[in-house]
């Protein structure tokens, strides 16, 4: 019976344990988590979501305070188009986070950064260009282009000295999206180094429609992508993601031709994960009925989360003067519209509820939106229940090694503390 460890992901001469921990914003996939994956010979991700505020928290910078100071005058204004990011701040925070992470890297594995196109930041092209280029400048091993089609992303960095040496990949949820990406980027004469195929059971935003995500399945999409690449004689590693919960699940994909797997949910309860300890207990305790896919993200993508997330129904004032990561090219965000509608409908009320959308920036930053994968309800079976009813947190190493060496669909419990 094969184990994940019987396979290797090959990047040229480099051999990697074929386990990639997916990016989880905002700083849920911490540098510590990514570094553990790299130390153990696999690939870890940091996330580039909201790095100015992450940098303030981790490295004592003052980017958010400065932005708020500059735009305080606009807080009561419903038009947020004037609230622009300082590109220098974006660059500095990205360089800080990436370089500090890369300096601490040990072992044979790699650290990538997850870059979401849907973080349009009130100037989509300019801000994404700076994010991508600064990550390359600071020595990241690779970039995973996420949450969007990224039709122009290669062009933003094609003149960068590291364009051909850094590993660049894309997350897609359909063969069509991959074909479009390849067609639009063919002019740069550079293929992606890997393709993550993300199915409908993943955590975070889903690349499917609100009403049809349940009709798709990861294995079918992965096989379509593999077949297409074989037909086109394109040698690009394919990495399925979404619902791969055991080593045996992973092996079944590797045996069918995938080069590695991307996993995340199992690591949400790791010591090194950025979620606060009490929130991790919510993940452990969740039952299947406690999880839903809903449309409250202002990005327009469906998102899976725990129904108990404090972000659901919260009617806080939009925090764009401090954050503003979802503002589109015209300074708009659908949460602002929903919020203003409720304020107008309830004049004089101090606390309002907004049910159809949420302030993604503030709530993700404060760990109040508990996004999760479909199989979160199985996390309780991966640890020991303690006398006080809580679950024993796990080390990332324990989870990583369980994926790497387990067979027979088994999940190894941690040594009891």
Ligand X SMILES: Cc1cc2nc3c(=O)[nH]c(=O)nc-3n(C[C@H](O)[C@H](O)[C@H](O)COP(=O)(O)O)c2cc1C
Residues found near ligand X in the complex (CB under 6 A)? 22-25, 28, 47, 49, 114, 116, 146-147, 171, 198, 201-204, 241-244, 262-265, 268, 371-373, 375
What is the nearest approach in angstroms of ligand X to the Cβ of residue 30?
12
Give the number of other Cβ atoms within 10 Å of residue 44's Cβ: 32
What is the nearest approach in angstroms of ligand X to the Cβ of residue 132?
15
Taking the least distance from each CB to ligand X, the nearer of 312 and 339 is 312
Taking the least distance from each CB to ligand X, the nearer of 96 and 145 is 145
What is the nearest approach in angstroms of ligand X to the Cβ of residue 86?
23
Single out the residue of 127, 77, 58 nearest to residue 329, CA to CA.
127
Peptide bond into 26 cis (omega under 30): yes
What's the CA gap between 273 and 5, in Å, rounded? 23
Buried/exposed 263-285: b ≥16 CB within 10 Å, e otherwise? bbbbbbbbbbbbbeeebbbbbbb
Taking the least distance from each CB to ligand X, the nearer of 30 and 322 is 30
Taking the least distance from each CB to ligand X, the nearer of 127 and 339 is 127
Residues contacting residue 169 through CB under 8 Å, at least 6 positions apart? 112, 142, 143, 144, 145, 192, 193, 194, 195, 196, 239
Taking the least distance from each CB to ligand X, the nearer of 93 and 268 is 268
Taking the least distance from each CB to ligand X, the nearer of 113 and 354 is 113
What is the nearest approach in angstroms of ligand X to the Cβ of residue 264?
4
What is the nearest approach in angstroms of ligand X to the Cβ of residue 32?
15
Q: Are strands 194-198 and 261-263 parallel, antiparallel or unpaired?
A: unpaired
By CB neighbour count within 10 A (0-12 exposed, 13-18 middle, 19+ buried), where does 150 fall? buried
What is the nearest approach in angstroms of ligand X to the Cβ of residue 254?
15
């Amino acid at each position: 019976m094969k184990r994940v460890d019987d396979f290797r992901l090959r990047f040229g001469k480099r051999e990697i344990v074929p386990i990639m921990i997916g990016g989880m914003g905002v700083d849920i996939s911490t540098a510590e988590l990514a570094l553990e994956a790299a130390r153990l010979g696999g690939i870890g991700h940091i996330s580039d979501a909201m790095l100015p505020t992450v940098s303030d928290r981790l490295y004592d910078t003052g980017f958010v305070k400065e932005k708020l100071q500059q735009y305080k005058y606009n807080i009561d204004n419903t038009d947020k188009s004037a609230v622009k990011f300082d590109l220098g701040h974006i660059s500095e925070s990205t360089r800080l986070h990436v370089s500090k992470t890369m300096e601490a890297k040990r072992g044979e594995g790699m650290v990538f950064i997850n870059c979401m196109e849907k973080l349009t930041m009130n100037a989509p092209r300019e801000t994404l260009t700076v994010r991508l280029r600064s990550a390359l400048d600071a020595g990241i091993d690779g970039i995973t282009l996420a949450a969007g089609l990224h039709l122009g992303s290669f062009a933003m960095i094609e003149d960068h000295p590291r364009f051909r040496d850094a590993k660049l990949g894309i997350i897609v949820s359909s063969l069509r999206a991959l074909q479009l990406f390849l067609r639009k980027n063919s002019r740069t004469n550079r293929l992606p180094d890997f393709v993550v195929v993300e199915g409908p059971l993943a955590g975070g935003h889903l690349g499917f429609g609100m009403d049809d995500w349940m009709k798709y399945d990861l294995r079918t999409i992965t096989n379509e992508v593999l077949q297409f690449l074989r037909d086109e004689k394109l040698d690009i590693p394919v990495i399925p993601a979404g619902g791969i919960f055991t080593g045996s699940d992973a092996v079944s994909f590797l045996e069918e031709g995938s080069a590695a797997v991307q996993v995340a949910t199992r690591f949400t309860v790791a010591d090194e994960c950025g979620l606060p300890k009490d929130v991790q207990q919510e993940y452990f305790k969740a039952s299947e009925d406690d999880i839903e896919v809903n449309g409250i993200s202002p990005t327009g993508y469906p998102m899976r989360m725990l129904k108990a997330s404090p972000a659901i129904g919260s009617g806080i004032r939009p925090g764009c003067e401090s954050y503003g990561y979802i503002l589109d090219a015209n300074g708009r965000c659908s949460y602002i519209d929903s919020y203003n509608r409720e304020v107008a409908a309830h004049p004089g009320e101090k606390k309002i509820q907004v049910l159809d959308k949420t302030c993604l920036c503030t709530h993700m930053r404060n760990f109040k939106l508990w996004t999760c994968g479909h199989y979160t309800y199985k996390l309780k079976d991966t640890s020991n229940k303690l006398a006080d009813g809580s679950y024993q947190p796990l080390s990332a190493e324990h989870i990583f090694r369980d994926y790497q060496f387990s067979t027979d669909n088994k999940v190894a419990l941690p040594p009891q503390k």
